[in-house]
Amino acid sequence: MPANEIHKDSSNFCSNSNKISFLASVILPLLVLGCIYFIWLSKYHGLYFSQAANLYRSDAKKYEQLIERALKWDPYNGKVRYIKAGLLTLKKDYLKALEESFQASKTYQEIDCLKQTADLYFSSYNPIAGQEYFEKCLLLSPNDYDSLLRLGIIEAKRGDLVSAKQRFRTILETKPADPNAYFYLAVIMDAQKKYLQACAYFKTAYEITQFQKEKTAFDQEVLQEFLNKYNVSRL
């Protein structure tokens, strides 16, 4: 091969090597940075907008726009979906709220989100379906009052009276003056024909409600019907 052709091939090789070197040193790092930025954007941008939305709580329309914008950036951001479910609940659009909260709980396993999903099931559509989420809440917080109370009610309705009684007694360990726990224990005792215990628990539930103004989980008229059944006069 002539010397000039060898020199030409060598020059071409060097030129190609320089191009490859340029790509490796400039273009590839830019691509890597771009990928990192895209991952950051998809993961955190939605959360940023959800936090920014807190500044606009006085402007409901602006608040909702920011939430929707957050979900466009990151449709799988569980915290943003949890917030949106809360907005839908305030609007009493419970079906959509349940769907958003259900989707949120797949990635946002915080107790508030799990309780929101469980409460929507419990209050609006399928109480039994909420049992799984209340149980998850208790894994995070074993003495969570709402979860213990609602699980006890669900288990009592399913006929698991032993488990239900344990839920209500666990409540009384931390809240010894809780009328809800006494009322539902009384209902269970009544169902088991343990009438003396049922009567005592009904009386205790009634006495406590006279000193507490909080809304009870049971209907006061139902309590009075049981008191009448046991010939317990107003105290």
Mean pLDDT per 10-residue section of the chain, whose length is 235 residues: 47 50 59 58 52 57 81 86 89 90 90 90 78 92 94 93 96 95 96 93 92 83 87 55
Specify burial of residue 96 (Cβ count, 10 A radius: 0-12, 13-18, 19+).
Answer: middle
> What is the structure's pLDDT at 7?
43
Domains of the chain from N-terminus onward: 161-235 (1.25.40)
Q: What is the dihedral of CA 132, 137, 139, 145, to 10 degrees?
A: -120
> What is the structure's pLDDT at 230?
81
38 phi/psi in degrees, rounded to 5: -65, -40
> What is the structure's pLDDT at 13?
40
> What is the structure's pLDDT at 160?
95
- The first and second tokens of residue 190, run together, are 């009544």
